[in-house]
Amino acid sequence: MRAKLALALLSLVLCAWMPTGPVGTTQVPDDPAGAWEPGLNCTGRVDLPLIQNAIETKWSPDNKTLAITAGQRTPSTTSPVGWKEDEVIYTVDVRTGSLSPVGFGIRPEWSGTGTYLSYWPRDQDLRVLRGGKVEAKLLMSIPEVRWVGDKLLYIYKRDIREWSNGETRTVARFDKDFEPAYPLDDVYWSADGTRFTMTRYSYDGTIERYMGKTATAEVDLIDAPNATYTEWSPTGNTLLVRYPNKLELIGPDGATQSTPLSRFGGAIASWTADGRSLLVGRIASTIPAGDAFEKFAVWGGAQAQPVATLPNLIGARTFSPDGRYFIGLSRERLDTTRLELYRCGTWSDDEWNLRGDPEAAARLGLIDGDELRFVRPAAGDVAQFLQYSHTGIDIAAPVGSIIVAADGGTVTKVGWQGVGGNGVCMSHGGGLETCYFHTSATLVNVGQRVVRGQPIALVGMTGVTTGPHVHWEAHLFGQLIDPLAR
């Protein structure tokens, strides 16, 4: 099985770790102020072996290894397009480029020392690996887990359980009225494992958000009736609560601070590596991606640096634990991506010059020269096709992932749309329309003009859904069509 998986992974990684070529320089528009301001800058592109179609990436605690979930395309006799996509996990040493297969599944997580790696093989027991060998198989009913050191927190029915060194114990038990039932209930732990959020979705659009204590499993309603999205900081236990018009941080002591989104240049928010601040701003069109740099305001924490400069990458936009690297995805073709790595640091003309992707122009030519026009709106795998009673394409991706416009157009609908949950629809002219459903936060407004590849929403679990994904539909003069063939 391991040998077959290794071969499958090698087919996923095209050119099998061949060099990507010399680093080039991306032309950046002149700063109207005359120069880029001092601050955190992730602008030095690092050559990586070619890693395609990554969906989620998790850094090891020592910043040396990445656990990656990627989409692998294989032939299929049951699919209407002749292929299907599976989720595969492997690890890669960022220093040497060496590749190691892990298994089929999602949600890889490192233990606090890096001794263990866990992942979920979908509809099977949670796997815990040590040195590449299975150390444990654990029954769980919620896919989210949290490592605290080398102790693993997870949920099975009413129990919060802890696995450590081959032993399992029950930490606490939920009240029967609050037993999480996935996917109507979705749970996420804080980085230190002391608290968790529980989001309860209803088919009428009602969403209730709770915060709980791990030690007791007691939960309290979060007073955030109009919130669209929550996310824990990468360290500690500060919670980001996102609203249509503002951002709010709830600290460990319950104290809150908020700021209107209107003060920023955009609505994309990312945590800094230390979890003390948010970087808030806009992302330019992601066609092809990695070819532009954007300024992000630093909000929250001490704000020692006023701005940050990040590349316009999509997908898993995260910092390494030490903050030295920023990782994300650029687009190679309409439906494929590649992993990109950028060095981060305080501004220096010699060390942190703006170095972008030298192949961006060539990839843009491939994208524009394709006979089709739609780009894949999220960095994820196709989980369901347009067939039988299903009316669109489901693209599975983690909650909070960026959804982009498949083509340029005008936003026509934003908000609740029945079984599709919160969604965005847009007109592309000539009777052509696309819609994106099950979103959490939306980033555009009705009447707004958008370009192909522009971020328009974040992946969520609203409406009727079996897990986080975007349901992508297309209509031509009111008739349903396959967006993969347009």
What are the CA-CA distances from residue 217 to residues 146, 156, 202, 316, 486 (Å)? Answer: 15, 13, 22, 30, 49
- The 3-class secondary structure across 132-154, one letter per residue, is CEEEEEECCCCCCCEEECCEEEE
**Between β-strands 99-104 and 83-93, what pairing exists: parallel, antiparallel or unpaired?**
antiparallel
> CA-CA distance, 286 to 298, in Å (whole number)?
22
Looking at 316, 347, 368, the residue that finishes a domain is 368
Question: Is 470 among the domain residues?
Answer: yes
**At 357, which CATH number?**
2.130.10.10
Residue carrying structure tokens 């359980």: 161
* 387 in any annotated domain: yes
pLDDT beneath 70, residues of the chain: 1-38, 302-305, 346-356
Residue 479 parent element (H or E): strand 479-481
Residue 156 lies in a domain: yes
Secondary element (H or E) of residue 380:
none
Domain boundary among 318, 344, 368: 368
Residues 295 and 326 in one domain: yes
- Between CA 366 and CA 372 the distance in angstroms is 11
Instruction: Please report whether residue 375 resides in a domain.
Output: no
Residues of the chain above pLDDT 90, percent:
76
Same domain, 358 and 431: no
- Residue 123's H or E segment, with its range, is none
279 and 428 assigned to the same domain? no
Contact 211, 219 (CB under 8 A): yes
State whether 99 and 197 are in the same domain. yes
Is residue 177 a part of any domain in this protein? yes
User: How many folded domains does the chain comprise?
Assistant: 2
Backbone angles phi, psi at 125, to 5 degrees: -65, 150
Which parts of 18-173 are beta strand (E)? Answer: 39-46, 54-59, 65-75, 83-93, 99-104, 106-110, 116-120, 126-130, 133-138, 146-148, 151-156, 159-164, 167-173
Cβ–Cβ under 8 Å, residues 38 and 309: no
Q: Residue 443's domain is classified under what CATH number?
A: 2.70.70.10
Which CB contacts under 8 angstroms, 24+ apart, belong to 386-389? 386/80, 386/480, 386/482, 386/483, 386/484, 387/80
Statement to judge: residues 177 and 111 lie in one domain: yes
Same domain, 83 and 187: yes
Alpha carbon 383 to its chain centroid, in Å, reads 16
Quick check: is 282 in a domain? yes
- How far apart CA 72 and CA 67 sit, in angstroms, is 15
Q: Which is nearest to 456 in space by CA: 398, 416, 394, 413?
A: 413
Tell me the residue range of the domain where 111 lies.
Answer: 2-368
Summarize pLDDT for 119-159 with one digit per residue, the tens. Answer: 999 989 999 999 999 999 999 999 999 999 999 999 999 99
- The model's pTM is 0.91
Can you tell me whether residue 2 is helix, strand or coil?
Answer: helix
Order of strands, sheet of 116-120, starting from the edge strand that comes earlier in the sequence: 106-110, 116-120, 126-130, 133-138
**Pair 12, 125 in one domain:** yes
Same-domain status, 259 and 398: no
- What is the rounded distance in angstroms from the CA atom of residue 471 to the CA atom of residue 474? 10
* β-sheet with 159-164: strand ranges across: 146-148, 151-156, 159-164, 167-173
Burial 433-466 (b: 16+ CB within 10 A, else e): bbbbbbbbbbbbeeeeebebbbbbbbbbbbbebe
| Residue 373, in any domain of the structure | no
| Whether residue 258 is found in the same domain as residue 228 | yes
Question: Both 185 and 259 in a single domain?
Answer: yes
Question: Do residue 349 and residue 435 come from a single domain?
Answer: no
List phi, psi (to 5°) of 418.
Answer: 65, -135
Rg (CA), the chain: 22
pLDDT value for 128: 98
90 and 20: one domain?
yes
Per-residue pLDDT tens digits for 383-440: 999 999 999 999 999 999 999 999 999 999 999 999 999 999 999 999 999 999 999 9
Residue 376 lies in a domain: no
Element (H, E) at 330: strand 325-331
What is the distance, to the nearest Å, from the Cα of residue 348 to the centroid of all Cα atoms in its chain? 30
* Identity of the amino acid at 398: P
Tokens 């020592």 belong to residue? 62
